[in-house]
Structure 1
Amino acid sequence: MDTISHVALSLAAAMQREMNVTANNIANANTTGFRSERVVFETFVDRGAAQGDDSDFVLDTGSYVDTRPGALTMTGNPLDVALNGPGWFAYRTEEGRTAYGRDGRFMVDVDGNLVTVSGARVLDDGGGAIGLPPDAGALEITPEGVIVTGDGNALARIGVFDLPAIQSFERIGGGLFVPPAGQPDGALPAEATQVVQGALESSNVQPVLEMTRLLDIQKAYERAVQLTRTHDELARDAVRRIGRQS
């Protein structure tokens, strides 16, 4: 396979990757607290032996989390919680892993545990699971994340953390992130984030822009595939011509 085919295939592979990421963003446009993903590409220039013979390849160098906030929507549900600021909630998944996200749709399960709608346990500021007594009554959640009963007793403080290394974290679905295997999460107390009771944060995905991006990506992918096909047809035609002359 020659250089032209390699260049076209590098572009097609890059567009396939970006298409998958963009499609996942669109699929999560209504996922509470979802953070969209962006792919990063770089150009690798292969210096040819002859002057002007350089070839530019597309390299997929990874992706990053778009940390722009989503819009806050007031729900009036006392166990709906949104974050105003860059912090993250901490959860314990069913597999026992500590994960981070922005989904504040909380509820109390049959055992009195504060959990998400997916069943993950909500963690406090010390990393422990939060349990609520059955007679807690009406609950207030302060801007600092403290859960207070109607008679003023503080039960727990919802953990809100800054994650300086969030760009290295892995997505595990449902808008959740975990640190790379064997690496510390580096979580720090969030100083610049307020907890908003009775509200939820929308996904930061902008569906119209994502659909436009998806169409552009598809066109670029089709151009790369067509370039490969055209080059292959020219190569076959050249072989046929040479065969007729020999």
Structure 2
Amino acid sequence: MKALYIASTGMAAQERNVEVISNNVANMRTTGYKRARAEFQDLLYQQLRRAGSSTSEAGTVAPVGIEIGSGVKTAATPRIMSQGPVAPTEKELDVAIRGEGYFVVNLPDGRTGFTRDGSFERDGNGQLVNVDGYEIGPGIVIPENANSVSISSDGIVEAFIGNDTAPTQLGQLQLARFVNKTGLASIGDNLFIETASSGPPQIGTPNQDGLGDVLQGYLENSNVNAVTEIADLIAAQRAYEMNARVISGADEMMQATSQLR
């Protein structure tokens, strides 16, 4: 009975849906995390009668056909790249993006990563890095005797060196934007990399050419909404149960058929 296999695809799809939701909930407190959403597509159809096929010698045609579907599949799990809430941290090297853009991260293997996580630190050489020690592009060094580091809304990094009475510009943060940011590939550690779907990065200065500005002493929180995720979880659970009930019903029908004498 085909209903068994059709319902099993529904259970598998809802299992994947719950996995996506659980990852969202697990990352509710992850800096710069962007929630994902499962999207589904129906599978191939068996056409028992085509719409428009002839129904008589007089030339009449069937206004509708008879199609039997074969279930559902997970089509994609796109990221929802909306702005997350920005919260103060009072840490001078924490930076949040307000608007469009990603920080540029130079990865050890030569690739370029992109992130919304602005939890920056200084390494032993004064280099501005992320929490994993990866260099933040374009490469900014904060001297050991630098005081009162400031980062303007357009990404200019300044500090007072030694006993100087005027600040020295140390560099400027850059942001990247993409034609299709949902096409970025997640590689963990709050990092994305470009793909053929995302297009190449367009590097620019914060607060210019449609890029957002940056806020020193703030971090962008996850855009996960707990109420929405719980509602989606309940809906997925009920859909899973209904598909399981279809399997039970199909099994009972087959059992009744096998007991016919």
Smaller-chain TM-score range?
Answer: 0.7 to 0.9
The range that moved more, 206-215 or 48-57, is: 48-57
The aligned counterpart of 1:108 is 122
| Alignment partners' CA distance in 1, 2:239 and 2:126 | 52
2:104 to 79, 90, 98: 90
The aligned counterpart of 2:154 is 144
The aligned counterpart of 1:9 is 8
The range that moved more, 199-208 or 43-52, is: 43-52
TM-score (norm 1): 0.86
| Alignment partners' CA distance in 2, 1:92 and 1:226 | 51
- What is the number of residues matched between the two proteins? 236
TM-score (norm 2): 0.82
Structure 2 residue matching 1:82: 3-state secondary structure:
strand
The aligned counterpart of 1:70 is 84
> Highest CA radius of gyration, 1 or 2?
2
Q: CA offsets per residue over residues 155-187 of structure 1, 9 Å max, x none?
A: 12112111223222211123321123x888511
| Alignment partners' CA distance in 2, 1:240 and 1:96 | 67
The aligned counterpart of 1:179 is 194
| Alignment partners' CA distance in 1, 2:86 and 2:240 | 36
1:207 has 2:226 as partner: yes
- Structure 1 unmatched ranges of 5 or more: none
Q: Report if the CA contact (8 A) 1:3-1:55 is conserved.
A: no
1:170 has 2:185 as partner: yes
- Structure 2 unmatched ranges of 5 or more: 50-64, 161-165
Q: CA offsets per residue over residues 131-176 of structure 1, 9 Å max, x none?
A: 3222222211111111112233221211211122322221112332
The aligned counterpart of 2:254 is 235
The aligned counterpart of 1:222 is 241
Q: Report if the CA contact (8 A) 1:82-1:103 is conserved.
A: yes
Structure 1 residue matching 2:143: 3-state secondary structure:
coil
- Kindly tell me: are residues 226 and 95 of structure 1, through their superposed partners in 2, closer, same or farther at Cα, counting changes over 3 Å? farther
1:131 has 2:141 as partner: yes
Structure 1 residue matching 2:147: 3-state secondary structure:
coil
Q: Report if the CA contact (8 A) 1:81-1:104 is conserved.
A: yes
- Kindly tell me: are residues 75 and 165 of structure 1, through their superposed partners in 2, closer, same or farther at Cα, counting changes over 3 Å? same
Q: Report if the CA contact (8 A) 1:149-1:155 is conserved.
A: yes
